A = this chain, B = another copy of it.
Amino acid sequence: MKKPSIPQGTRDFGPDVVRKRQYLLGVIKTVFELYGFQPLETPAMENLETLMGKYGEEGDKLIFRILNNGLDHPDKKEGAREAFEKVLAGQNSTAITERALKYDLTIPFARYVAMNHGKLSFPFRRYQVQPVWRADRPQRGRYREFYQCDADVVGSHSLVNELEFVHIYKEVFNRLKIDGATIQLNHRRILTALAQLAGSPEKLVDITIAIDKLDKIGLEKVKEELSGRGLSTTQLETISNYLAITGSNEEKIATLKELFRGSEEGEKGIADLEWILGMLENKNQVNIDLTLARGLNYYTGVIFEARAPEQVKIGSIGGGGRYDDLTGLFGVPGVPGVGISFGIDRIYDVMEELQLFPAEAEQGTRILFLNLGEKESAEAFRLLQTVRNNRISAEIYPENIKLDKQFKYAEKRSIPYVAILGSKELENRQVVIKNIVTGEQETVAFDSMASLNLK
């Protein structure tokens, strides 16, 4: 028999990992709720036409499609040959696939808002933590099935929302104790102003895409790429000068004001960033990062990126921005919004590396009642319920096997305490509670088990 396996790029999450992930997601959800965001869940399956054409040509290819039912048993389904012929002829592939697995949380959210437009109260703030699927080539840290964790406000133009997201990032990293995580801010209009200043407003997308790679490929390669896109040496110099702006947030703002004086786009972008800085108690809670571009074309205003502390070399652990029109694609125009996401897998890695998961996050069973015989275990079973009534997670070893095996089970499961109830203890109506880590033990009367207190 072949050894069983799981598809490439997918993962099983065993108990320890699930607990730590639940802790991490629990903190994030608690903060979202505190900030008035509401939970939403959409199906894993969407109609293929809902997803197609939303992620660019490359994205379309990475959508996992679900085979229409019956087609793998063509003898049972009339028309299978015609369906396959259609596809081979390059015609509509809905003959074989009409449904797909969701590729991100944004398009299903847009679809939901468009479908429920009349019923929702705007501004509508939702958060969503669900798996998505991409037929990407699996590699270290890139999966075909992974969770996204998004929060968006739609139906509001106000910068208050951007300000709230800065606070949400701060509060989550604070609660998770990820010191040194930073929040970078930039503005799409500043990039627009840059393209105008360079004299090539039509090259905005090329410039954005190239700058977005700065971190990974360095300035020289960015310039090479832009040169390949037809930008002149003078234009490249304008862009280099912009990318070289340094200093404190205030200094950057001052330099930008000089650079983009008289540019409507530039001045609006600068004013937005300045307003946000002005509303923060500490202006160093964020970094104005002029090299931040965020590749996605739909951003139109403030853009965000959250970065892991320098020492862990993990880079981005979240990002987002403002967009003009979420639901226009689905026939409901005029719904602007702003949203952020948390990169759950990376934040998990940061927390592992910095050993930030609290012991409670990994905590399962606290005490194991050993099984020392029929009569003894019947009494132990009764006391087990008593202990659980006190909210202590507890088990009884189900079989009366050798003691060392039962102890070994407790050790392997990292259960810190065992309760020993043998014939002598049964007679004295007491239990020996032993901490198997420290070796300490105490004797507790049956009647006191209801108030058993494990450190």
Q: Mark A274-310, 1 if CB is under 8 A from B, else 0.
A: 0000010000000000000000000000000000000
Could you mark each residue 386-414 of chain A with 1 if its beta carbon is under 8 Å from any beta carbon of chain B, else 0?
A: 00100111111011000000000100110
What's the Cα separation between A97 and B72 when bound, in Å?
8
Pairwise interchain contact B46-A44, C-beta atoms closer than 8 A: no
Contacts of A121 in B (CB 8 A): 409, 412-413
Q: A7-B46, A87-B74, A111-B4 are in contact. Are A39 and B15 (CB under 8 A)?
A: yes
- Once A43-B10, A44-B44, A66-B67 are accepted as A-B contacts, the answer to whether A115 and B5 lie under 8 Å apart by CB is yes
A322-350: CB near B (< 8 Å → 1, else 0) gives: 00000000110000000000000000000
Contacting residue for A45 out of B10, B76, B396, CB 8 A: B10
Query: Is B36's CB under 8 angstroms from A365's CB?
Result: yes
Contact A14 B40, beta carbon cutoff 8 Å? yes
Q: Which of B6, B61, B99 is close to A70, meaning CB atoms less than 8 Å apart? A: B61
Residue numbers in B under 8 Å from A160 (CB-CB) = 371, 377, 381, 396, 398-399
Q: Are A61 and B67 in contact (CB under 8 A)?
A: no
Within residues 1 to 57 of chain A, which ones have a CB less than 8 A from any CB in chain B? 1-7, 10-15, 18-19, 22, 33-36, 38-47, 49-50
A207: interface (CB < 8 Å): no
Asked if residues B157 and A14 are in contact (CB atoms below 8 Å), the reply is no
In the complex, residue of chain B having the shortest beta-carbon distance to the beta carbon of A76 = B61
Complex contacts, A115 vs chain B, CB 8 Å: 3-6, 12
The CA of A53 and the CA of B378, in the complex, are separated in Å by: 41
A385–B74 touching, CB < 8 Å = no
* Cβ B398 vs Cβ A7 within 8 A: no
A interface bracket (residues with beta carbon within 8 Å of B): 35 or more
Which residues of chain A from 357 to 371 have a CB within 8 Å of any chain B CB?
364-365, 368, 371
Give the 8 A-B residue pairs with the shortest CB-CB distance, closest first. A36-B395, A158-B398, A15-B38, A10-B43, A72-B93, A1-B331, A84-B84, A18-B39
Contacts A/B (CB < 8 Å), 23 sampled: A1-B331, A3-B115, A4-B47, A4-B50, A4-B111, A4-B115, A6-B42, A6-B43, A7-B46, A7-B47, A12-B42, A13-B42, A15-B126, A18-B40, A34-B392, A34-B393, A36-B365, A69-B135, A80-B87, A121-B412, A160-B371, A160-B396, A160-B399
Q: How far is the CB of A368 from chain B (nearest CB, A)?
A: 8
A97-115 vs B, CB cutoff 8 Å, 1 = contact: the mask equals 1110100000000011011
A12 is contacted by which of B43, B62, B87, B153 (Cβ under 8 Å)? B43
Taking CB atoms, residues of chain B closer than 8 Å to A7 are 43, 45-47, 98-99
Q: Is A156 an interface residue (CB 8 A)?
A: yes
Q: Chain A 410-438 against B: per-residue CB contact (8 Å), 1 yes, 0 no?
A: 00110000000000000000000000000
Are B4 and A331 touching (Cβ within 8 A)? yes
Cα distance, A325 to B384, chains bound together (Å): 28
Encode contact with B along A119-157: 1 for CB under 8 Å, 0 otherwise. Answer: 001110110000101010000000011000000010011
The smallest beta-carbon distance between A36 and chain B, in angstroms, is 3
Evaluate whether A41 and B13 lie within 8 angstroms (CB atoms) in the complex, with A46-B7, A72-B97 already known.
yes
A73 interface residue (CB < 8 Å to B): yes
- Give the distance in Å from the alpha carbon of A413 to the alpha carbon of B38 in the complex: 10
Q: Which residue of B lies closest to A74 (CB)?
A: B88
Nearest chain B CB to A246's CB is how many angstroms away?
A: 30
For the complex, what is the distance from the CA of A47 to the CA of B111, rounded to whole Å? 30
Q: Does A372 contact B (CB under 8 A)?
A: no
A449 at the interface (CB under 8 A from B): no
